[in-house]
């Protein structure tokens, strides 16, 4: 029987693993944003993005997102 708290370095506990799988599923189904899913997984957004890549889950980033980011960058460089 696997313990909920796994003390082995480099191994996720069952609880951490369940949280990560829940977060990935919610993100993949677009029920959660990147930030929300990262919070569920108890990770930074950067760490969660790495996990998405490891699990080959595509991120939701379309043309509208790119246009908005480019506008933000343009506004920031004008200051």
The DSSP symbol for 58 reads P
- Whether the full predicted model's pTM is greater than 0.75, yes or no, is no
Count of other CB atoms within 10 angstroms of residue 4: 9
pLDDT in tens, 27-77: 999 999 999 999 999 999 999 999 999 999 999 888 988 899 999 999 999
How many whole angstroms separate alpha carbon 11 and alpha carbon 6? 7
């Amino acid at each position: 029987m696997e313990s909920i708290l796994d003390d082995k370095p480099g191994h996720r506990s069952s609880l951490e693993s369940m949280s990560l799988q829940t977060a990935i599923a919610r993100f993949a189904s677009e029920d959660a944003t990147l930030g929300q899913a990262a919070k569920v997984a108890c990770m930074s957004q950067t760490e969660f993005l790495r996990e998405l890549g490891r699990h080959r889950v595509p991120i939701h980033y379309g043309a509208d997102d790119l246009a908005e980011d480019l506008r933000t960058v343009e506004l920031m460089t004008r200051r």
